[in-house]
Structures are given as structure tokens and as C-alpha cells.
Structure 1
């Protein structure tokens, strides 16, 4: 069960990252096509402005695609068999209020009929959790909660 939850969470994270990549790639391809079609248009100020805007959008999408690749790379470093007594990268943390998967920031996930938040260790709550153990209390946004389990 321990590894099942972590394995499921990791799989869900990879699926979310893949969905993002597919969506971004689709928009990138559409933008490429628009840019090629614009090249075929007549010249002029409007043409140049449109081309420049399309190229800026393409650069932004390129950066977003690189970020998504980074997320996948980070996720691939998680060892689902590693269990620690303190919260670390790759830990699944159960608390008296919310459950967390310390990985990359991808939002809410649901597995084994439980909700988890996939967060990065660099987020404010991630920073608070790192290094803490079962029984430790965390205060975050005027809320105090207790770590009940770490896998």
C-alpha cells in the first residue's frame, strides 16, 4: 500500500505533465503554421507586426515546453521505494488537514480515495514541511496542523 500510493501519485504527475506537453506542443505547431502562412502574406507594417507577435508567442511557448521537460526530469528522480522518517523530496506527507506529495507543483491529485497536493519543495508550504517528522506541527496561513505519517 505504501509504495502503491507513491507510485500512483508519481504516475498521475507524469500524466499531468504529459497532458501539458501535448497541449503546448499543439499550440506551438499551430503557431508555427500561422507564422508560415503569414510569411506568404503580403509585406507591410501590419505583416511585420503580426510576424513579430507570432515569434514572441513562439518563444514563450518554447520556454513553457522547456519548463514542462524540466518537470518530467525532476519527477524521474523520485525513488518510489525510498521511505524516510523526515519529509524530503519524493515524500508523501499525511497531515491532520491536507496530504502532500513533495515533487513538483501540479495541484490536486486523487488516488486511493484520498486527495493529495503535488507541491514543490521550494513552495512556502514545501519549505515548512522539509525536514519535519511524524508528530511535528506546522503553522501555515494561520492554520496549525500535525504531520501524522510520512511515506
Structure 2
């Protein structure tokens, strides 16, 4: 990628949002399936076995509920991010460095987008905190490695 542009940034944001929407859908389907399994579980003469299976399903459903809640919160964060370029790096900034491209959005990790690897990170992550309020030509150090910010959008 030669130069960052707003269309690329908007498309990348939409891509990240779709990744989270897909997770939400799959968690909702898994929770529905777990509920159907729990409803189908009939009481047999082996009552303890039945109770254990129901308890395990309930725990699994609770875990999925927590994940669902976290992913819905991530969607909210994506929606609230402002795409306007600022003088310095802030949440929502797309950052090109000599070591790669970073997007300060939410913690997803490395994402392949339009044949480019982009590190989608949150502003609260250790590296995200380092980027905040920096601008082009600034140097940042992370894990003993120095990076130069080429541009940000």
C-alpha cells in the first residue's frame, strides 16, 4: 500500500465490523442450540447424570452469553469511533509505520485486508497507548523495536 486513503480506512472499518457481526451471529446460534439441547434433555432414572449435563450446558451458555456481550460492546465501540483525521493519532486512526499498518479500533489482532496485513488494535492495548498523540515522523519503541510513523489517517 502506497498511501493511506479514507476509502481504504472506511472499507477496513466495515470489514472489522463484519468480523464481529459474524462472531455475534455464531454465538447467538450456539446459544440457541445449547438452549434446545437443554430443553430436549429429559429426566431419566439417572437423575444425577441429567443434572450434571444440564449444569454443564448452563455454564456453557453463560460463557457464550459473556462472549456475546463483549462482542456487542465491540460493535458499539466501532460505531462510536470517529473517522475524521486529527493532527495526532487517536482512537480510530489508521497508522502506517516502517514496520506495518496499525488500526486503532478494537483488539482483533492481525487481519488480512486487500492483500495487506493490518494490525487491528485497541487504544487501550500497550502498543495502542504508545501511538496515542503521536504524529508523522515520530519514532515509537515497542518490545525493544523502534518504528517510525510514516503517516496516519
3-state SS of the aligned residue for 2:70?
helix
Aligned match for 1:58, one of 46, 58, 61:
61
- How much has 1:112 moved relative to structure 2? 4.7
- CA contact 1:85–1:134 (8 Å) conserved in 2: no
Listed as ranges, the gaps of 5+ residues in structure 1 are none
| Contact kept? 1:12, 1:109, Cα under 8 Å | no
For the pair 1:88 / 2:112, whether they are aligned, the reply is no
Which residue pairs with 1:22 in the alignment?
A: 25
Give deviations 1:126-148, integer Å, cap 9, x for gaps: 01111111111111112111001
C-alpha separation in 2, matches of 1:112 and 1:73: 25
| Distance of 2:150 and 2:133 partners within structure 1 | 14
Q: What whole-Å deviation, never above 9, does each CA across 1:65-121 have from its counterpart, x for those lacking one?
A: 0111001000001222x0012110100001010111100011223445432111101
Tell whether 2:15 aligns with 1:9.
no
- Correspondent of 2:49 among 46, 49, 62: 46
**Partners in 1 of 2:43 and 2:106 — Cα distance?**
43
Correspondence for 2:122: 120
Aligned partners of 2:140, 2:117: CA distance in 1, in Å?
19
- Per-residue CA deviations over 1:27-64 (Å, capped at 9, x if unaligned) read 111111111111x2326111111111111111111111
Secondary structure of the structure 2 residue equivalent to 1:76: helix
**Unmatched tracts of structure 2, length 5 or more:** none
Q: Which residue pairs with 2:39 in the alignment?
A: 36
> Normalized against structure 2, the TM-score is what?
0.91
Shift in Å at residue 3 of structure 1?
1.3
Distance in 2 of aligned mates of 1:35 and 1:110: 38
**Aligned counterpart for 1:79 among listed residues 67, 82, 101:** 82
Query: Cα deviation per residue 1:1-42 (whole Å; 9 max; x = unaligned)?
Result: 62102101111111100111111112111111111111x232
